[in-house]
A and B are shown apart, each in its own frame.
Chain A
Amino acid sequence: MLSDIPRPYSLLAELTHRCPLHCPYCSNPTRLAPPLDELTTNEWKRVLVEAAELGVLHVGFSGGEPLQRRDLEELVASARATGLYSNLITSSLGLTRRRAEELKAAGLDSVQISFQSDEESLADSIAGAKAHSKKVEAARLVREIGLPLTVNVVLHRGNIERLAEIIVLAESLGAERLELANTQYYGWAFKNRAMLLPTRFQIEIAAQLAREASKRLFGRMEILFVVPDYYSSRPKPCMNGWGRRHLTVNPIGKVLPCPTAGEIKQLRFDNVRSRPLMWIWSESEAFNRFRGTGWMPEPCRSCEFREIDFGGCRCQAALLTGDATVTDPACELSPFRHEMTGFVESTQGNAPRDFSAGLEQLIFRQNSGI
């Protein structure tokens, strides 16, 4: 490998885009990958071996819903055999006791279950499916058979005021880690951002609650609170830098620097079906396009934070300005900052008093065509 090319540490294996849920902030692209083109078991096994050889330490089996793949247990065993630490990122729908036990026996290291809220009717209306009670059951099952559990909750205007109760739920389920991830506004979530973005006040209260809980639960439950970058003055160090730490392989084998990069229309992404992962990581045009600092325009180019935030998020720059090569508008120094602040200001104070009453305005993820 070229010596100036960093090694990747994590692989997100999006096994399928099929999913029983319809969350209006789904991180899958709005054009989903067709199931008939999904990578085969052997193709995924090759990806896992090549990833481990590149230096990857973690694999997240994700989707869609990864349990929709009948070969998940086999892939987990394969990850284990190459030394990868595996995490199952799941809605938990389809996680029977038998499958959970087989996954554990195959060497699965940890399970991350998504919850939409603590409260069943709200949770089910966000998921667009009757899912909450099954998730509670699955989370208990995971702990009962001795697999480590992370609870992940995507926060938005509709559930952020339930945060105290959500933390209690995670505690009662015996979660060892709780991820409170404010919605990232791409794809489906971007379509719904006017409905989903919490107010500044809601974020402040939630952050405070998360800090207090984190202190109270020190040594028992790790709490991660991800602030939405719509409310920060500096951009997030997206993926810790493009092509620097992470790669995503989508259901049909396209290799992406992040799960949403496929939305950048100017880039062509290579496929594991036609190229070795090593080549794609170190030599492909897409991975090198925004690697390092050489591609940066001003104000990033001369900014003292350029190797801290890496210019922020390329997908967000593309989404908000039409140009993936400019500074992320989440940065207060961006000439396009108004694209973000203007939107944020337009949403303050118009939170529907009853989020459920606004549900019909949300665009739920559709699975037609897959």
Chain B
Amino acid sequence: MVSESIASTARPKLSARARLQTDKITGKPVLLYPEGALMLNPTAHAIVSLCTGQETVEAIASNLATRYQGSAPEIASQISAFLNRLRGKNLLELI
């Protein structure tokens, strides 16, 4: 798996190729993109919702650390892994 580390000051923005919506069958959030779909758990959903191009990776991490009362480094590493996955599918712009 190819990956690159994403700078904590980068502002990730969900690509226009991807669409976030609610799955009719499960009622859960799903990310749709060419040839694929990701069913999102609450954390992934929160991350994707914050990929607006306005927030830095750092700000997303601190937002989620507060929201889920988790340890900031652990959440930062989860975010980084998930964002890399999206980058691998070319679903993320870094602004």
Cβ of B28 under 8 Å from chain A: no
Which listed residue (A9, A58, A218, A224) contacts B2, Cβ 8 A? A218
Closest A residue to B32 by CB, please name it: A85
Cβ A219 vs Cβ B37 within 8 A: no
Query: Whole-angstrom distance between the alpha carbons of A222 and B17 in the complex?
Result: 12
Query: B residues bordering A, Cβ < 8 Å?
Result: 2-4, 15-17, 19, 21, 23-25, 30, 32-35, 37, 87-90, 92, 94
Which listed residue (A83, A85, A219) contacts B87, Cβ 8 A? A219
Cβ A87 vs Cβ B34 within 8 A: yes
Residues of chain A contacted by B15 (CB below 8 angstroms) = 148, 176
Residues of chain A contacted by B24 (CB below 8 angstroms) = 52-53, 55, 83
Residues of chain B contacted by A150 (CB below 8 angstroms) = 34-35
Cβ A222 vs Cβ B37 within 8 A: no
Cβ B2 vs Cβ A214 within 8 A: yes
Cβ A58 vs Cβ B90 within 8 A: no
Shortest B14–chain A CB gap in Å is: 12
Cβ A7 vs Cβ B25 within 8 A: yes
Cβ of A177 under 8 Å from chain B: yes
Which listed residue (B4, B17, B30, B32) contacts A219, Cβ 8 A? B4
Cβ B17 vs Cβ A176 within 8 A: yes
Given contacts A218-B88, A219-B87, contact A146 B16 (CB under 8 A): yes
Interface string of A219-239 (1 = CB under 8 A from B): 111101000000000000000
Chain A to chain B contacts (Cβ below 8 Å), 29 pairs: A7-B25, A9-B37, A55-B24, A57-B23, A58-B35, A58-B37, A85-B32, A87-B34, A87-B35, A109-B17, A109-B19, A109-B32, A109-B34, A112-B34, A148-B15, A150-B34, A176-B15, A176-B17, A176-B90, A177-B17, A214-B2, A218-B2, A218-B4, A218-B87, A219-B94, A220-B90, A222-B89, A222-B90, A224-B35
